[in-house]
Amino acid sequence: MMAGSESRVVMNGTQVSYIGQDCEEIPAFIGEQYGGFAKRLDLSFNLLRSLEGLKAFSCLEELIVDNNLLGNDLLLPRLPHLHTLTLNKNQITDIESLLDHVAEVAPSLEYLSLLGNEACPNELVSLDKDEDDYQRYRYFVLHKLTNLKFLDTRKVSKREHEEAKARGAFMKVVKPKTDTESRDLRSASPGMPYTPLPSGSRDSKSHKGIFSKCRYVYYGKHSEGNRFIRDEQL
């Protein structure tokens, strides 16, 4: 690896950052030089499709990989000390597989953020999602990761843990259909254009949905939400 790339690493004690370098994989020199002692690693705003290079980071406690290209084939090494993981704005659609994997390799995880992925159903990724969809997702995540204290930008409440224990298993988030699956559904009914909406909401002259609620949502300049809020007590 060229010295120029190494100079772009920002280090502050046990915190290591390599942000916005358009790398598709974790450079080997980062693990070689910092893996033995780094406790916090920020690899945001790259083009990562794999986190294979994390094997060198045996002491890692916080991992930030927001704004990358990580998908459902994401594999993490075993990270027994990892308590914070943020995967905002990646390409994850299969929430159950991700949670099963994280539960296995990161048993100490307490803080998780998945905003901006299709696996996290809220209005950041789809206008047809609402707070009820998001709450069901929270229950399912907490059912899988029982030690979580913070999910996305919200602290986990005692009531949420109780609800997740009681019925979280039935709140499984449906994986979004692929383009091929959507085309198959449309071709199955050639006489009628395919739509997933109930009949009462198909009126093109109405701006209201089936329950007479306006479906228009205004997004201001800063409506994307916080990238991830760390507990100030940490």
**pLDDT tens digit sequence for 25-37:** 999 999 999 999 9
Are 92 and 72 in contact, with CB atoms under 8 Å apart? yes
Q: Is the pLDDT of residue 180 over 60?
A: no
pLDDT at site 176: 54
For residues 84 and 108, what is the distance between their CA atoms, to the nearest angstrom? Answer: 9
| pLDDT digits 0-9 by tens, 92-141 | 999 999 999 999 999 999 999 999 999 999 776 677 777 888 999 999 99
Assign domain 3-196 to its CATH superfamily. Answer: Ribonuclease Inhibitor (3.80.10.10)
Strands in 10-137 per DSSP E: 10-12, 15-17, 40-42, 62-64, 84-86, 111-113
Q: Tell me the per-residue pLDDT of 152-176, one tens digit each, with 9 for 90 and over.
A: 999 999 999 999 888 867 667 655 5
Q: Are 5 and 29 in contact (CB under 8 A)?
A: yes
Model pLDDT, residue 170? 65
Residue 151: enclosing H or E segment and its boundaries? strand 150-151
In the structure encoding, which two tokens stand for residue 18, read together?
Answer: 């390599």
Instruction: Say which residue, 4 or 50, is predicted with more confidence.
Output: 50
The top-scoring range by mean pLDDT among 2-11, 43-52, 156-165, 193-202 is 43-52
pLDDT of 148? 97
Q: Which of 60-64, 119-123, 179-183, 189-193 has the weakest average pLDDT?
A: 189-193
Q: Measuring CA to CA, how many Å separate 180 from each of 11, 176, 183, 187?
A: 45, 12, 5, 11
Which one is predicted more confidently, 9 or 122?
Answer: 9
**Which pTM was predicted?**
0.72
Higher pLDDT, 82 or 153: 82
